[in-house]
Structure 1
């Protein structure tokens, strides 16, 4: 069995224009001081990381690894959540997602999508240069606006949407395969890959591609009311990244899973800082140990109530306390005897 690595932290929600959050070196000092051992880097944030340079320069990647190692840190994964979203955008979301792209392709959906694909391919090379084995991203979505089937969906709409999603992602998956890196789609509402059924629909269309895998975040399953522990039993072989994020779901007589268009503070389902929600993390970490999860436990902080600095400070010890150092021998080995076929026959009552 493997002991999960961590604690680590996703930097996206903390990066900013003020020190120490405005450069990789200074934010690394901050997270190392909190007790983190790894950082998941948002590849779109030029204050922290130059994706194109990382794809083209082994020296740049070695400098980043060396700088982080000097602070007791490693890169856990790169993230292209924003670029992955732009691989597949329904027109209803054009205006909202346009800001995720480079200025020169904004307002041009075809150019924006081509730019996003190129970004993913750069991320595959950069991940290889950093010595990483997995990459975190979103799938994008064509069918999400039609999630609730009223009015009735046109026949074949969902199938056609997933066919197109797979067509766009297959060359990207092949690029990651060429570089020896798994693509871990965050299973997330708003994406066409938002639960096990939709992941299987996609996986079937990309020919069970070995690089098509998952980022597991139980908070999104709490808000969907999906069994996040059974999910690990079913899909553990495909889970390559892990966001440690808490959530709670408290329905009322006025609102439930859909949230009534309310703000995050008022929704029955909302994200919380670690330990403040309902996620059964002891059970999750036990299953991760049981199934030999090879990766990192990465804090993703999103909470409508708590300050991010408090959430980050509490997150490192919370994760460290939940990581199970796996045993190297069975608890009852002290009572074991050597192999004795004759004894076994007697125990079975065989003459």
Structure 2
């Protein structure tokens, strides 16, 4: 077993045009001041990171990592969530997801997809060059509009969607293998990979690719009413990244999982800051430690109620309280006995 690293903070929800959130130097200093030891960086966020320079320039990489180190944090992983979403977009979502692409590509889905694929590839390359071993992303979705089958889905529709998804991702997974980087899909509603079954459907189509792995976030499982602890037991060998995000689900006589089109604060299921929801993080951290999770505990602040800066400040202390420094010995070693084969036979009454 090994001790989980942390706390770290995903910066995506904090970047803005206001100081200290608009600059790599100041945002890393701010994160360190809250007690974070690492930061997870969205590769699409140009206020913090220049993806192409990170691939092309050793000087830039040294400066980027050096500023973080000077401020007291390390870079834990890069994220390509927004670009990964654009690898596969159903036409129903074209307008909404156009916002994730450069203006010149909006309304041009084929060119937008090609750009997204290259962005994910660049994030894989940059991860290796920065000395990182995992990258977080979304899978994108072609079948999501057909989640609830009414009218009946056309035979073969889901299979074709997953075949296509695998075809688009396979070259990126092969590139990840060449670079020694795990692609960790955040298992997330809105993505075709939104639970264990859909992850397995994808995994089968990419021949159990060793670089196709998971970003585990229990909040998304709680809101689906999926057993998020058993999920660790099932998929621990594929879980390579971990978001510490809480949620609560309080169904009423008027709404349940689907939420009645209500805003987040009015939904039966909503995200909360760590410790404010229903996720049993004591057991989550215990299971991840038991299964030798190799990565970081990264706070992702998304809360329907609490101010983000308060959530970030409390999140660092929350993770620190929950990390289990794993034991190098068994608790009953003090009573251990030396025994040879004869002694074992005597103990069993076989002598």
Smaller-chain TM-score range? over 0.9
Q: How does 1:100-111 map to 2 (within 5 A)?
A: 100-111=100-111
| Structure-1 separation of matches of 2:255 and 2:88 | 30
| Structure-1 separation of matches of 2:339 and 2:40 | 47
SS at match of 1:54: helix
Q: How does 1:48-63 map to 2 (within 5 A)?
A: 48-63=48-63
Match of 1:170 in 2: 170
SS at match of 1:112: helix
Match of 2:300 in 1: 300
Match of 2:10 in 1: 10
Deviations 1:148-199 (A, max 9, x none): 0111000010000000000000001111111110000000000000000000
Cα contact 2:29–2:72 (8 A) shared by 1: no
SS at match of 2:266: coil
In the alignment, is residue 225 of structure 1 matched against residue 186 of structure 2? no
Match of 1:265 in 2: 265
How big is the shift at 1:56? 1.5
Deviations 1:274-318 (A, max 9, x none): 111000000000001000000000000000100000000100000
Match of 1:346 in 2: 346
How big is the shift at 1:253? 0.4
How big is the shift at 1:58? 2.4
Match of 1:287 in 2: 287
**Bigger mean CA offset, 161-170 vs 66-75:** 66-75
**Bigger mean CA offset, 276-285 vs 50-59:** 50-59
SS at match of 1:237: coil
In the alignment, is residue 205 of structure 1 matched against residue 205 of structure 2? yes
Deviation above 6 Å: which 4+ runs of structure 1? none
| Structure-1 separation of matches of 2:98 and 2:235 | 33
| Structure-1 separation of matches of 2:104 and 2:80 | 19
SS at match of 1:77: strand
Cα contact 2:214–2:238 (8 A) shared by 1: yes
CA RMSD of aligned residues (A): 0.7
How big is the shift at 1:105? 1.4
TM-score under structure 2 length normalisation: 0.99
Match of 1:114 in 2: 114
**Bigger mean CA offset, 236-245 vs 340-349:** 340-349
**Ranges in structure 1 where 5+ consecutive residues have no aligned partner:** none
How big is the shift at 1:59? 2.4
Cα contact 2:8–2:316 (8 A) shared by 1: yes
Match of 1:315 in 2: 315
SS at match of 1:19: coil
| Structure-1 separation of matches of 2:236 and 2:99 | 34
How big is the shift at 1:340? 2.1
**Bigger mean CA offset, 212-221 vs 99-108:** 99-108
SS at match of 2:160: helix
Cα contact 2:25–2:71 (8 A) shared by 1: no
In the alignment, is residue 44 of structure 1 matched against residue 44 of structure 2? yes
How big is the shift at 1:339? 3.4
Question: What is the total number of aligned residue pairs between the two structures?
Answer: 351
Match of 1:32 in 2: 32
TM-score under structure 1 length normalisation: 0.99
Match of 1:144 in 2: 144
Deviations 1:110-137 (A, max 9, x none): 0000000000110011000110000000
SS at match of 2:48: coil
| Structure-1 separation of matches of 2:252 and 2:189 | 21
| Structure-2 separation of matches of 1:156 and 1:261 | 30
